[in-house]
Structures are given as C-alpha cells and as structure tokens.
Chains A and B, each alone.
Chain A
Amino acid sequence: EPEVTQTPSHQVTQMGQEVILRCVPISNHLYFYWYRQILGQKVEFLVSFYNNEISEKSEIFDDQFSVERPDGSNFTLKIRSTKLEDSAMYFCASSGPGSGLFDAGANVLTFGAGSRLTVL
C-alpha cells in the first residue's frame, strides 16, 4: 500500500540551528500538509501546500517556517532558527489524486510516521 515516508525519524538540534524535515508524499497526491504534535498535546495544523504554493497556514507557521517542493517528489519543512518550543513530532500528510472536492476518496489524509524534533 502506498505510504508517506519521512526523514529523519528523530533529530536532536541546538537552539538557534536550522532544521530541515523531509517527506516523500504518495506519488499521485496533489495536496501536501505539515502537522505537529507537542508531547501530550493535540495534533495541530501547520500548513497546506497545493500547486507549488501555500494554500493555507496556521498562526503557528510564522516566518521561522518555510515549505518547499524542490524536485517534484520531496516536500520539506524548514525551521530557520529553532526554539525550545519547536520540540515536537512533525507529521507530513498528503491527499487527493485531484479528482475533485466531492470525491470521498480524495479527502482521506495519509500521514507519515513522523519526525521527532528535540531542541536543546
């Protein structure tokens, strides 16, 4: 079964360092997302990406964050200067073969296993 893959599974970094989290979405999907889950808290939406641009972002997704789809297969999340409070599990997700908003199958989100970021 197709899956979303994320690397690294765990990254430890010093405060102030830049981090790039990588994701390979399902190949025929057109919508891409990043979510995060701080330990013990809810899964929170960060950003959605479609047609090579951000379609929606949350208030969490400030200027420290950026996303990119550099080569048609990878989807990356960059945190420019990490803070202690950025420590969380970051989940990538993808959906939609692009058959339309009312196709139930197109709306099922497929998540990766997550990348755990620890900022010291």
Chain B
Amino acid sequence: KQEVTQIPAALSVPEGENLVLNCSFTDSAIYNLQWFRQDPGKGLTSLLLIQSSQREQTSGRLNASLDKSSGRSTLYIAASQPGDSATYLCAAENSGGYQKVTFGTGTKLQVIP
C-alpha cells in the first residue's frame, strides 16, 4: 500500500527566499507524481505532473524533481512571494489510467512579506 509523506508539515519563510518542499513515497512503482496547491476553502490546483520516465518538470518559478529509486520528489519554489502561501500536496499514482492517487500529508507554507 502506497504511503506518501511530506516534510516539513509547515514552513514559514521571508519573501524572496528560495525553498524546497519534500515528498517521499514507499512504493516506487509509480505511474506519475503530481504536485497540487490547496488554498483555504478552495479546491486543489494542479501545479506540476511528472511522469515516471521523467526526472523533472518546470513551470515558471516552480521546479519539481522525481527520483523513483529513492522514493522522493521535491518541489522547488524560487523567489517566494506572499501569494505562494498555501498548502502544497504531492500525490502519487500507482494504478495508471484510473488515477487512484495517494496524497501526502501536505506542507503548509507561509511567505512573510
């Protein structure tokens, strides 16, 4: 059974700092890994998806990496802004096709102006 863990659970940084969020998963036979953002009272917004054959994906100030062999993914946020404050979730898909994804515990990020 896939278990996904995120460290740290909460993070507070000053505006402008670069930061790294960590995600680990126990079953390395994943189909893909997605990073989501969750704002209070709102849904989940997909940020980046990394297929199992890929090592990283980039979108703007975000860069996600995937190391299947070690069961780890990181989300790097460059030049953080107060608008980046949210909870970040990683989710691993094992089944393929029907996307039963297993979510991590989340990292609550606060960027202080």
Interface residues of A (CB under 8 A from B): 4, 6, 31, 33, 35, 42-45, 48, 50, 55-56, 58, 91, 93, 95, 101, 104, 107-114
Contacts and interface: CB of A to CB of B under 8 A. Distances in A.
Contacts of A44: 103
Contact of B43 (A55, A56, A111): A111
Interface string B82-113: 00000001010101111111111110000000
Interface string B30-61: 01101010000111111001010000000000
A109 B35 CA distance: 11
B103 A110 contact: no
A109 B99 CA distance: 8
The 5 closest A-B pairs by CB, nearest first: A111-B44, A43-B103, A113-B43, A111-B43, A48-B98
B105 A33 contact: no
Nearest to A48: B98
Tell which of A43, A48, A50, A56 has the most Cβ of chain B within 10 Å.
Answer: A43
A109 B98 contact: no
Contacts, number: 63
B100 A45 contact: yes
B45 A109 contact: no
Given A56-B95, A109-B34, A43 B44 contact: yes
A93 B97 CA distance: 14
Given A45-B102, A48-B100, A111 B89 contact: no
A31 B44 contact: no
A95 B91 CA distance: 15
A117 to B, nearest CB: 14
Contact of A58 (B51, B97, B100, B106): B100
Contact of A56 (B34, B41, B49, B98): B98
Contact of B101 (A4, A50, A109, A112): A109
9 contacts: A35-B103, A43-B89, A48-B99, A95-B99, A101-B97, A107-B32, A107-B49, A107-B51, A109-B101
Tell which of B89, B91, B100, B102 has the most Cβ of chain A within 10 Å.
Answer: B100
Contact of A31 (B31, B41, B89, B99): B99
Nearest to A114: B43
